[in-house]
A and B are shown apart, each in its own frame.
Chain A
Amino acid sequence: MRLFDYFRSPQIKSAALAKERLQIIVAHERGNRHSSPDYLPALKKELLEVVRKYVPIDQSQIKVHLDREGGYEILELNITLPDEEQRSSRR
């Protein structure tokens, strides 16, 4: 058998298959583990109300994203303000 093995064309390496399968399942399981906390929607709504007191924006212009990296949690808050001209013309 060894003799035949030696001359046979190489097949897909099983380690590559293992790695691919693991990357998918581990990413999936980490996703479940780190699902976003349930206070995020409420936080977003309140933030929107506060910002609206000063700048007119709508729901789509505020983005709240929670990320975990190593031991840290990163709360990313992205508010797109309307350009200066738009705001002054509205006054």
Chain B
Amino acid sequence: MAVPEATTDRRGVLVLGGGIAGIQAALDLAASRIPVYLVEKSASIGGRMAQLDKTFPTMDCSI
């Protein structure tokens, strides 16, 4: 049985997905003083980009 947790009071933006787009959205909102709930179905954020070695065209390391 799941234990219900008390409702979180602050109203914020719900971001679904912790890949690069979701992280970017969350960071910009947070920097603009908006509370964010970043929901990710896997155990870590990072998404696809965390799997990449380097990215084109600058060959930057992706994390």
A and B: partners? no
